[in-house]
């Protein structure tokens, strides 16, 4: 548990360590997160290359980065729901479904951004 008495740079360093633990746990335990990270490896350079202006590059790359961010939140919600209990409950299922819908929406957002920027160049 975080020490609330830690201040200044020590707090920043500890917060960074907690964040890295979160990335590691999600990467090791969540296949969807791993898949999204592996897709980022070629797509981020591709987005930088295909963007004609700095704004286009930011939109292409930024829309990609939103997907794993939302996946991290989805995984946190799922872990919290599973911690409460593994038996089926309507509210637990709803929470997981809504979090999954957020991931789907982020992927759809990414696809729309890429289509809006790239399709007019190729049509």
> Residues forming the annotated binding site for substrate?
11, 32-36, 57, 71, 100
Let me know if 71 is a catalytic residue. yes
Residues shown for the chain: 123
Extract long-range pairs of 96-99: CB within 8 Å, 24+ residues apart: 99/73, 99/74
**Catalytic member of 31, 56, 71, 90:** 71
User: For residue 101, what is the enclosing H or E element?
Assistant: helix 90-122
Closest to 72 in 3D by CA, of 110, 108, 27 = 27
Q: Which residues are annotated as a binding site?
A: 11, 18, 30, 32-36, 57, 71, 78, 87-89, 96-97, 100
Binding-site residues for a divalent metal cation sit at 30, 78
List active site positions: 71
């Amino acid at each position: 548990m975080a020490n609330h008495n830690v201040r200044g740079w020590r707090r920043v360093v500890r917060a960074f360590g907690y964040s890295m633990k979160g990335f590691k746990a999600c990467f090791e335990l969540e296949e969807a997160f791993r898949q999204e990270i592996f897709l980022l490896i070629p797509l981020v350079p591709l987005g930088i290359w295909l963007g004609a202006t700095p704004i286009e590059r930011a939109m292409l790359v930024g829309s990609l980065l939103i997907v794993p961010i939302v996946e991290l939140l989805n995984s946190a919600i799922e872990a919290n729901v599973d911690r409460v209990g593994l038996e089926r409950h309507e509210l637990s299922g709803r929470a997981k479904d809504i979090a999954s819908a957020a991931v789907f929406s982020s992927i759809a957002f990414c696809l729309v951004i890429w289509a809006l920027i790239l399709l007019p160049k190729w049509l």
